[in-house]
Amino acid sequence: MKSISPVTGEVLTEYREHSPEEFSAIISRVHESWKSWKEQSFSYRAGLFLRMAGVIRSDKDRLARLMTSEMGKLLRESVAEIEKCAAVCEYYAANAEKMLADELIVSDAGRSLVCFQPIGVVLAVMPWNFPFWQVFRFAAPSLMAGNAAVLKHASNVPGCALAIEELFVTAGFPEDIFRTLMIPASSVEAVINNPLVKAATLTGSEDAGSKVASAAGRNLKKTVLELGGSDPFIVLEDADLDKAVATAISSRMVNQGQTCISAKRFIVSEKILAEFTKKLVRLVSELRMGDPLDPSTQVAPLARPDLVDDIESQVKRSVAQGASLLCGGNRPSLQGFYYEPAVLSNVTPGMPVYKEETFGPVFTILPFGTEEEAVSIANDTRFGLAGAVWTKDPEKGERIARAVETGAMFVNGMVKSDPRLPFGGVKKSGYGRELASYGIKEFVNIKTIWIA
């Protein structure tokens, strides 16, 4: 495995992969560690996660720079991601016990209850775009519930993967309760086939999710999948236009657009379309591209060269089919994996930027006439992860939010994940939920106990 700089394209570090015999042995050790971990009290586990939060914060500058060096995001975004990891550790340390407390149920029994018990070793197949946050939003609830974990991280962030494993050691967690498997994607099925692995969670592409779900299905093991998104950003004629445009840019450009929940389709009322487009194009054109370590940089490189190829192809094919490129859409002369943020109008159904997920800095503008038409356009996608609607009428905003087929909708706000709120999608965006009380219950045995 190689760590390659998105800024220069140079190899930073090379890492040795685990052989099948090695990763099988690691899984066995994690299973053995789980046998005692599951018997520990919530207060014991909480103490370790509170210590973890401190360890993360004390080392956040190094961890953030590691993240930026491997996948290219702006350093300030990397720092914020590290802080969020510490926060999710604290959240579940404070709330896991009450979330998983026994529930007394009135039935025909003398006493009946539901309890929540850990299931064992869970495999996490995680992506490169949020290399620390994606792991911790799984690990904190899963381990607080009493499970153990093995991580198969994306191949372009091996340094981050090993750093996370080291954080568990530094924080004083039991040996082998969380381990990183340095394996290629082709070895994931063998891990799922291992009888000591009881479930799997994946954040990634549709194709990867389908493969993990298929392998898990053959083994009758549960999965949680968070896949792609083509989030609608609906702007009604009564919206605060300046705020909506500013948030549109923030939402689309976070992580250089390499985010499942970033706004991708800007569905704008015909009555304000010209003004919205003018403001958007002006501000997007002014974004400064450069080194992600430079505090003044607003546009960093994409994580890999193939991602630049993909987004460039989507834009070019859409323009060839009649879309108008209003700004950007070029490869700059900078060394590294850069792509100019692009704004497209005159987009119609069937074009790549309409029907596909655009995992990069591309703004697709789609006009609508009526509220019903806005909802119809928003739902005209195979994805259903999240979305936003902008209006000065809260009741109208909630009505539209309920009508759009997604796992989350934000009214007058930027879509984000929050440990207090469940996160996940519908349709081709996956199934199951992470975070909040719903996420911690995904990988537990929900057991009924009936007493005469």
Catalytic residue ranges? 226, 260
Angle at which helices 394-403 and 371-379 cross, to 10° = 40
Q: By the 8 A CB rule, do 62 and 232 touch? A: no
Residue with tokens 């799922």: 192
Q: What is the distance between the alpha carbons of residues 22 and 38, in angstroms, rounded to a whole number? A: 24
Phi, psi of 196 (to 5 degrees): -80, -15
Count CB neighbours of 392 within 10 A.
12
Q: Which residue type does 382 have? A: R
Q: What is the distance between the alpha carbons of residues 432 and 142, in angstroms, rounded to a whole number? A: 14
CA dihedral 170, 135, 174, 44 (to 10 degrees): 100
Q: By the 8 A CB rule, do 375 and 341 touch? A: no
Q: Which residues of 119-138 are buried (b: 16+ CB within 10 A; e: fewer)?
A: bbbbbbbbbbbbbbbbbbbb
